[in-house]
Structure 1
């Protein structure tokens, strides 16, 4: 695995991250008794494979159903200091409701703190106001001062203008955003993040970046001799402003194709 400094967090971030929205049992919270043994066994194997590869950044969210709870059952098997754990919670009109959701996340994860906490989905002006005017950011900052959160950032599917506006508040340590070969519109936001020395995490480059895990034959032919996923990974990571790409692994083998990128990084121009 290769690692990059994740902006002013100073974390050494693997260039691939283990995203947690595909290996969970359900998209809604469940009674623990309802989680099938085979689902948990697969999740545990996926996390083990991730860490064996040196992908020690595990990323999830309150909005990913059973992901946090299922992760919490396995994280205790590993040394906490070896892990970079990130979760995300959506802002609310009531900042105390937001606080309760963060506490729920930490309880499900069975962690005293998370390394990275994301304001989840600053996608419109209303959510921006919930964050910066209604008190949600202050809640996260209080928990940061209490040692429950190490670094605060945000995730977004918004327009570039709103992403840049959020970055330019100077309040965020990192950003999760979309940018890849087929959609490079957010480069201006990445430049703004770089100026703020923020970490830059690319959301879903192989899924939203064109369903590259099941590419049409035309795309396969155009990308030869590389697989389209490897082509896209190489394109993204050839830019030093990009620190990590999310791999939304549903099973242990989902990392394998991406690993082909690593020995090619020194030959990206070629």
Structure 2
């Protein structure tokens, strides 16, 4: 695997399947230029999904023209009620991609315990993909997820999957590292989703982050922070134009194993401690239950995370974007906003050393981040 992956959800034309005649030739030319640029750089893992609008179809107009053994192709199919349904969708994907096999097939979005049970049942998705593997049409089976360790770690522990696509990077380090560790214990490949966007909108970095990460850019430093952990194998680069790879390639080619990466990490921690207190920085996430166990399903963990990095690193615009997804993104970003705080019973926070402070912090976060306009996930916008 290359340490950078060509993610396929930003260069396609929209989020709905389209008639081929509706594809803009200039947009297709740009997509193909992204693929060829990726391959020139050694990024030969091309990732897409059935849910990425015409991405598979548009890739199917370029990938078959490239030597197959020079490509590693991954697509993803959402959780289906039956293996039969998954196989039908798989045929659609393969017809669009115009390939005889994919190297990686992910079950897209195992975000709840119910999703896992649906996939594992007799005649379910896992059984269907096993059949595709026997036929040589799928090499490796994995899953993608936006969930927390309570869900993801048990999925890894089933031993059914070869790899996982998940969210982990500096601003998710404390919360999500347990599921990276769970995957590593099963010798699974770990593919990091959206390190630049969900990692803090680092393509439009806050001024404080820019200063703390110098001489690297925030995106470069976050790349190298992730890849410095041997448990992490590849980062998804969702390029929308060929030059989008350049900053990341420069980081991994020129600064891998550079002492500056650790120096920046220490600088960021020292800044956070100076602004928020060493005790908060080290322990804010401990003893906080998942949203399923809080009053009103308020996603206390996520809100405190957003508050921490908005206050500590200036990631306020990122925090607003993510906060306003709560309540609007289903299990892809689960839980609710911090409303009606004063009327809630917060005994669920008894395990936190900050239990007395948290209700006020949730109220502050709501006042800082809430916007009346309804937010949507990228795939719904």
Question: Under a length normalisation based on structure 1, what TM-score does the superposition of the two structures give?
Answer: 0.93
In structure 1, the residue matched to 2:257 is 266
The CA deviation string for residues 148-191 of structure 1, in whole angstroms up to 9 with x for no partner, is: 10000000001111101100000000000000011112211111
Q: CA deviation at 1:257?
A: 0.9
* 1:259 counterpart SS class: helix
Give the greater-gyration-radius structure (CA).
2
Whether 1:248 and 2:241 are equivalent positions in the alignment is no
Counterpart pick for 1:99 among 87, 103, 114: 87
Counterpart pick for 2:151 among 159, 162, 165: 162
Q: CA deviation at 1:269?
A: 3.6
Matches of residues 1-270 of structure 1 in structure 2 within 5 Å?
Answer: 13-133=1-121, 135-184=124-173, 185-262=175-252, 263-267=254-258, 268-270=261-263
Q: Return the alpha-carbon distance in structure 2 between the equivalents of residues 91 and 144 of structure 1.
A: 18
Q: Return the alpha-carbon distance in structure 1 between the equivalents of residues 172 and 180 of structure 2.
A: 13
The CA deviation string for residues 211-246 of structure 1, in whole angstroms up to 9 with x for no partner, is: 000112121112111100011011001111110000
The CA deviation string for residues 180-211 of structure 1, in whole angstroms up to 9 with x for no partner, is: 01111221111111111110100000000000
Q: CA deviation at 1:26?
A: 1.5
Q: CA deviation at 1:126?
A: 2.4
Q: Return the alpha-carbon distance in structure 1 between the equivalents of residues 181 and 83 of structure 2.
A: 31
Q: CA deviation at 1:260?
A: 2.1
* 2:110 counterpart SS class: coil
Q: Return the alpha-carbon distance in structure 2 between the equivalents of residues 182 and 265 of structure 1.
A: 20
Q: Return the alpha-carbon distance in structure 2 between the equivalents of residues 126 and 36 of structure 1.
A: 40
Question: Under a length normalisation based on structure 2, what TM-score does the superposition of the two structures give?
Answer: 0.67
CA RMSD of aligned residues (A): 1.0
- Unmatched runs of 5 consecutive residues or more in structure 1: 1-12
The CA deviation string for residues 43-64 of structure 1, in whole angstroms up to 9 with x for no partner, is: 0000000000000000000000
Query: By percentage of residues, which structure has more strand?
Result: 1
- Unmatched runs of 5 consecutive residues or more in structure 2: 264-381
Q: Return the alpha-carbon distance in structure 2 between the equivalents of residues 14 and 201 of structure 1.
A: 11
Q: Runs (4+) of structure 1 moved beyond 4 Å?
A: none
Query: By percentage of residues, which structure has more helix?
Result: 2
Q: Return the alpha-carbon distance in structure 1 between the equivalents of residues 88 and 79 of structure 2.
A: 11
The CA deviation string for residues 36-93 of structure 1, in whole angstroms up to 9 with x for no partner, is: 1011000000000000000000000000010000001000221100100000000211
